[in-house]
Amino acid sequence: MIEIRDIRKRLGDKEVLKGISLTINEGETVAILGRSGMGKSVLLKHIVGLMKPDSGQVIVDGVDITRVKRKKLFEIRRLFGFVFQNSALFDSFTVWKNVALPLIEAGYDIETIDMRVKKVLSMVNLEGTEDLYPAELSGGMMKRVGIARALVGDPKYLLYDEPTAGLDPVIADRINDQILYLKEYLKKTAVVVTHDLRSALKISDKIALLTDGVIVTFIRKEEIFQVEHPEMRQFLKASGLS
């Protein structure tokens, strides 16, 4: 379980997070919805301890990661697979090496690594692409390599930062199907940051709407049409849902 308790974060002269509280239970997929620049990526970084709040707590499986030593933090980080907004692949590495990297760094033996890499590549339907370079991949394939890399250490929690941003609608929908498949098949707990309400509705159990540094509504997705907050009404309208 991930419990975010009243976190605040100032960056430069702006208070980006103004007291965020959010609980993510085991097995749940929570979408964090918000317009661009609202602090979604900043919030995600707090969950893995890549950023530290000015105040408040982030409790992962009972441990407050804002107070632990580096060694413990690295241990806890292994519970997470992070899918970065821009895929963050290394151009000079093959698909195999890009995916293998977390396990190489953790010092696993080559046979175990190769087995895991092949397994996660097949989970994202990228069998046989081991020797390709990122430049040889389409945008959708790059995203899936990013997902494979997040999965390779068999993390308990998956965090996706804008997994469908910048993809055409058909490919974006395929990535959503992929995320949904991993949710149903691997039963992982996930947090998906997105500015796309249709994606959020498709892949998540719950939706948190982040705006101006606070979560203004946190609901089960079935309750979406009952939300009266003007920001959510705007999202619904812009997505053609109301």
173-182: which pairs have CB atoms within 8 A and are 24 or more residues apart? 174/140, 175/140, 175/143, 175/144, 175/147, 176/202, 176/203, 178/124, 178/125, 178/144, 178/147, 179/29, 179/147, 179/203, 182/123, 182/147, 182/151, 182/158
Class of residue 240 by CB neighbours under 10 A (exposed 0-12, middle 13-18, buried 19+)? exposed
The piece of 8-16, 53-61, 91-99, 132-140 that touches ligand ADP (CB under 6 A) is 8-16
Cβ 219 to ligand ADP, closest distance in Å? 19
Q: How far apart (Å, rounded) are the C-alpha atoms in residues 120 and 126?
A: 9
Chain residues 29-88 in contact with ligand ADP, contact rule CB under 6 A: 34, 36-42
Cβ 209 to ligand ADP, closest distance in Å? 12
Cβ 40 to Mg ion, closest distance in Å? 5
Cβ 11 to Mg ion, closest distance in Å? 13
Q: Is the dihedral of CA 202, 208, 211, 212 positive or negative?
A: negative
Which one, 12 or 62, has the nearer CB to ligand ADP? 12
Q: Does residue 166 bind ligand ADP (CB under 6 A)?
A: no
Cβ 126 to ligand ADP, closest distance in Å? 27
Binding mask 16-45 for Mg ion (x = CB under 5 A): ------------------------xx----
Q: Which of 1, 6, 10, 11 binds ligand ADP (CB under 6 A)?
A: 11
Q: Using alpha carbons only, give the angle 32, 192, 224 rounded to the nearest 5 degrees.
A: 45
Q: How far apart (Å, rounded) are the C-alpha atoms in residues 131 and 54?
A: 44
Q: Per the structure block, which two tokens stand in for 143?
A: 């995203």
Q: Which option in ligand ADP, Mg ion, none does residue 169 bind, with CB closer than 5 to 8 A by kind?
A: none
Q: Does residue 211 bind Mg ion (CB under 5 A)?
A: no
Q: Does residue 128 bind ligand ADP (CB under 6 A)?
A: no
Q: Which option in ligand ADP, Mg ion, none does residue 107 bind, with CB closer than 5 to 8 A by kind?
A: none
**Interface residue list for ligand ADP (CB under 6 A):** 11-12, 14, 16, 34, 36-42
